[in-house]
Amino acid sequence: MLLKDKVCIITGGAVNVGRAFCEQLLKNGAFIAIFDLDSDIGELCCAELKQQFGKNRIIFCHCDVTDFTQFEESFQMTKDTFGKIDILVNNAEISNDKFWELETDVNLNGFIRGSLLAYRFMSKDKGNEGGTIVNIGSSCSVKPFISSPIYCATKHAIVGLTKAYGNDYHYNLTGVRVICYCVGPTESDFSSHSRQNNNTPNHERARNIDMQGIRYQKLDHVAKELITVLLNASSGSLWIVRNDEKPSEFPFSNELF
């Protein structure tokens, strides 16, 4: 798979790891649609990337992933602009168990909404050419963090979403590959977000237990290795990137029952 001239949607694409994903995809010749809730930051990000990569390769769509209609309109705007959609990076998230209903709506339901729309706009059985959905997970997708149980639940859930939709049954029908890219602790503004969690008793103590021995990796490394995974991963696979190392595929067994 080559990324040149592929049309990519990145939710939460205006800042931090989302913006880094945009930059790497552009460096590999893709067209991108930045979906973000913050219009001011999104427009600024779009303008800066246009200066660097050319004005015809990038659009910004104001998008709240909890609003299906707005999400759908943003998909349609992307297709109207570029003629097709090839890749969805489900990235938008929040990390604050105090606001657990919103957290669940963004981190899980937002990924489900994005996936359903991606199938509509990419699936071969709907007259399209197929494509790829990348669900962005975290260390919490495979390891429980006691300081953020509800955030953990949302990140565990997208592993199940990836494994089920990524199964050959769905892939053979739709031509849509589904993979999960789990990002370990990374140097970005989000490294401080877990401190905002006010729903866990003695939260700071729990967080210190979770973070023992953890080393933050560079944002640029995470974004570059997304490209590696996009080019090589099979449908239904889960990849973990941490400690500035190469991504490793997480082993799953399909024979548990």
Catalytic residue among 119, 151, 165, 181: 151
151 is catalytic: yes
Instruction: Count other Cβ atoms within 10 Å, centred on residue 55.
Output: 11
Q: Which residues are catalytic?
A: 151
